[in-house]
Structure 1
Amino acid sequence: MASSRAVPNLVFRRLRGQRSPGEFAALVRRAAREIGEQVACDARYVGRVEAGEIRCPNYAYERVFLHMFPGSTLTDLGFAAREAVRGRRARQADGGSNTQSTTYSNEESDVLRRAFMTSGTATVATASLGLCALPVPERLRAVMPSQRIGESEVGAVEEAVRRIRLLDDRHGADRLYKWAAHPLRSAYALLDSGTAARGSTAARLAAGAGELAISVGWLAHDSGRLEDARSHYAEALATSRVANDPALEAHAFCNTSFLARDGGRYREAVRAAQAGQQAAGRLGSALLLALLSLREAGGWAGLGDRADCEQALSRAHALFDRGTSDADPEWMSFFGEPELQALEAQCWSALGDWPRAARHGYRATTLQKPHFARNLALYRAQLALDLARANDTPVEAAAAAGQVLDVLDEVQSSRIRAMLADTARLLLPRRRTPGVADFLDRHGDTARGA
């Protein structure tokens, strides 16, 4: 029977030495940057490790810790072996104890029970998302330790990715994020179980888990949970490197660049986009390279570097004009002319050329298909904000923002709400202008009811 208390990681505590937890966390983040990883390490995380609450770090932290202490293994650093924490052996050794020392394994087992497998078909998600949860514990216990994970399990992970993306297109991130974490944890529990088949099935499972991490990271990103998003993207990037998967690596860098730009880390946005282009160069997708060039342009725009921004935009247009190909990733279904125009609008907005930004933003709104409800609302919110910033088109700004208010019950996005709040603030001095007061009143009612 396991102890009733978590076992402190005294080795890790000795490695910290005289540094405070915050100072040591800063060293971890610095080491991560040295190897191109991103971890959201803080004093609380260090404390959890030392207290034994984190028995085994995720892949991103593992790479960082092994970089910081060359020649060491996880067990040398006081952690439990990954397979001991996440596999069946840990559950057996812990005797089903509901103690602190077994919380991590028990949480993953609970996720698996809720999320996976029935009658040979694995289904991922939750009923609240409209995705059936089919808990069959005996089936789980039978499959995980003794059988190789096969087509049905891998297919479930891939289907979870598709469904989350579809629901995000329709509804935005705020309603989805807290539920989408469940299939993500289940996918990584499968990946870490060590029972996956070799070859293409194992590669698909790794790719699926990584893509799911990116999808959940995007939900975190769009709902304003930037540090959570950073962690999910780092997990996907680590998975891509373990699996030697350049497509997943390019996608992870693409989203990391976008997140860095939104977080005001513009040089990081440029570097991540350039790293993504290096990975994508082996894939043969001109559209993927076009999107990564747009991400780079966004970083340059944030830095105020108009020349490099224009160069990246020109490259993006040239690549986009090559058209689609069989090499284009499935996740890029959202990327067409409307997204191209919207991302260029963001660049001009960052550079302070708001009339030009509004012209591109208007094109994005007129070209976007209605079933991309979340993206259409985002384009209109960006257009409204740029029109308000231009300060000579308040009526048009209020009209565009009013269209976004019309769909806020359907589309839940903290990013969009923040844009509307900024638009309202800019339009407030123009309240007496016909059409503006109506938007301001409606926005006030919406904000109070949120």
Structure 2
Amino acid sequence: MEGNENLSSAMRERGLTQAELAVKVNTRLFCAGFEGTVSDRTVRNWLTGKTLWPHIRQRQALEAEFECSVEDLGFVAPAQKRRTSNEPEEPVRRRNFVTAAAGTAASTVPLVAPRPTMVGASDVLRLRRGVDALVTLDQKRGGHGELERRALAGAEEALAMQSRAASQRIRLRLFAVAADYTGTAAWSALDARQFDRTQSYLERSLYLAGMAQDPVALFDVWNMYAIFARQKLDFSQAVDAANAAQVTAICRRDPMFSSLAHARAAIGHSHLGARQAALRAVGYAHEALGKANPGDPRPSWISFYGHAELCAMTAIVRDRIGDPAGAEASSHQALSQIPEGFRRNRALATTQLALGQLHQRDVDQACDTADRVFTLMAGDPLPGRMRSLLGDFYRDLISLAPKSPTAREWGDRYRAEWSRA
């Protein structure tokens, strides 16, 4: 049975868990004078498609909460029997018709006024699906020019809709979507190591996230700032950005986000040589992740993060603090769990594994592992961030084993792959 992706996207877009949506729907039912009977299980049935058409009062509450029709939220009305000519009309419909007819005799105003062009939740959901598609593309290939251009076009479309009629809630959601698109462009530029454009996009995304009053979008920007600062070798700023991500409201609600912020801080501390601070932050990251519910609705961009990615980040920390054996073990743990579709992530984790092996002086094994990166990314240019990490491997390789035939052979292949990229 297929799930209700529209409702799931709407919940992710607002950062709602199943329990939180149940509370919101029940609150609206109570305010309307009805008993609130929606539970986590009710919402789960909506999400899995087990319930295709909720009770009318629940439908009304959902429409009020998301400001769109239940059809836009992915619900499907059951097929109804065609009304025969001798069947009586529903009383409400008949009353509406009589009222409209009486009004026609007294006025020349058309019965059906032109509907103003408004932006609704369905428009936001459509734009959100565009973000999700770009995230999927990034996971397979990494940052590149076409991804960046499509992200900027999506942001422009979202902002252009601000000139049309919309409720205040929809306007905030449009700013949030624009922030996500701009953040995607920033991530693409960062992955390609185009730092000037990255800085510009991150500043713009931070502004839009603030306009949206969206803690998830704010977290996303600070998370990218932490990566950006690390790539620029400004490790103090990387820690500061990770701490800024940690104090966003979403970290108080969802330990998954808190775990990621701690992991970013751990990497920054490890580069600063703060061994105990790095290990403490890694411990906090693992602890928080253990409390997270993997099934809670979240934005698509954080789908990369889980135990596998945390192991990959732990490998970076372990290697930087002088524990290459621990780094190798963590990399193996990561690669055993990173999904096959996350090709760029698997290639980065494989490079980190090669570094851990090299720093244990296992040159032949390290070169063999690093070779697998080119196989993983075959058919696409290596993203700039990956080329940089492979450059770190090559520099350490010629430093530790300058006369090794295996090292020279690997260096030849590295230069050939670099020229093709």
* Equivalence map 1:243-258=2 (5 Å): 243-258=212-227
**Cross-structure match for 1:320:** 289
Structure 2 vs 1, CA of residues 248 and 148 (structure 1 numbering), >3 Å: closer, same or farther? same
Alignment CA distance shift 1:399-1:175 (3 Å): farther
Q: How far has the Cα of 1:447 moved from its partner?
A: 2.2
Distance of aligned partners of 1:303 and 1:431 in 2 relative to their CA distance in 1, 3 Å threshold = closer
State the partner residue of 1:233: 202
Q: Deviations over 1:388-442 (max 9, x none)?
A: 2x15111121111100111333343111112223323333463764654443332
Which of 348, 365, 387 pairs up with 2:335? 365
Matched, 1:149 2:119: yes
Q: C-alpha separation between the residues in 1 aligned to 2:171 and 2:266?
A: 36
Which position in structure 1 is the counterpart of 2:229?
A: 260
Alpha-carbon shift at residue 177 of structure 1 (Å)? 4.1
Aligned-partner Cα distance in 2 for 1:161–1:393: 42
Equivalent residue number for residue 419 of structure 2? 448
Residue pair 1:385, 1:419 contacting (<8 A) in 2 also: no
Higher CA-based Rg: 2
The counterpart of 1:413, out of the listed 363, 383, 386, is 383
> How much does 1:289 deviate?
0.5
Q: Does residue 378 in structure 1 map to residue 348 in structure 2? A: yes
**Structure 1 residues 184 and 231, CA gap change in structure 2 (3 angstroms):** farther
Q: How many residues align?
A: 304
User: In structure 2, what residue type is equivalent to 1:250?
Assistant: F
Unpaired runs of 5+ residues, structure 1, are 1-120, 122-145
What residue identity is the alignment partner of 2:128? E
Q: Is the 8 A contact 1:287 1:328 kept in 2?
A: no
Distance in 1 separating the partners of 2:374 and 2:251: 43
- Asked if structure 2 preserves the Cα contact closer than 8 Å seen for 1:399 and 1:435, the reply is no
Please tell me whether the aligned partners of residues 252 and 258 of structure 2 are also in contact (alpha carbons under 8 angstroms). Answer: no
The answer as to 2:308 corresponding to 1:338 is yes
Corresponding residue for 2:325?
Answer: 355
Contact (CA 8 Å) 1:217, 1:232: kept in 2 or not? yes
Equivalent position of 2:54 in the other structure: none
Question: Alignment partner of 1:149: what SS?
Answer: coil
Q: Are the equivalent residues in 2 in contact too, given 1:385–1:420 (CA < 8 A)? A: no
Q: Which has the higher contact order (CA 8 A, sep 6+)?
A: 2
Q: Is the 8 A contact 2:353 2:369 kept in 1?
A: yes
Measure the CA separation in 2 of the matches of 1:416 and 1:449.
14
1:244 Cα deviation (Å)?
1.4
Output the CA distance in 2 between the equivalents of 1:175 and 1:282.
Answer: 32
Query: Residue 289 of structure 1 aligns with which residue?
Result: 258
In structure 2, C-alpha distance between the alignment counterparts of 1:186 and 1:197, rounded to whole Å: 17
Counterpart Cα distance in 1 of 2:349 and 2:284: 23
Alpha-carbon RMSD across the aligned residues, in angstroms, is 2.4
Distance 2:148 2:218 in 1: 25
Tell me the TM-score normalized by structure 1. 0.62
**Identity of matched residues, %:** 25
- Residues 147 and 362 of structure 1: CA distance in aligned 2, closer, same or farther (over 3 Å): same
Q: Which amino acid aligns with 1:356?
A: G
1:160–1:183 contact (8 Å) kept in structure 2: no
Q: Distance in 2 between matches of 1:198 and 1:165?
A: 28
Matches within 5 A, 1:42-441: 147-187=117-157, 189-190=159-160, 193-195=162-164, 197-281=166-250, 284-324=253-293, 326=296, 328-388=298-358, 390-411=359-380, 412-428=382-398, 430=401, 433=404, 435-441=406-412
The CA distance in 1 between the partners of 2:142 and 2:251, in whole Å, is: 32
Moved more, 294-303 or 422-431: 422-431
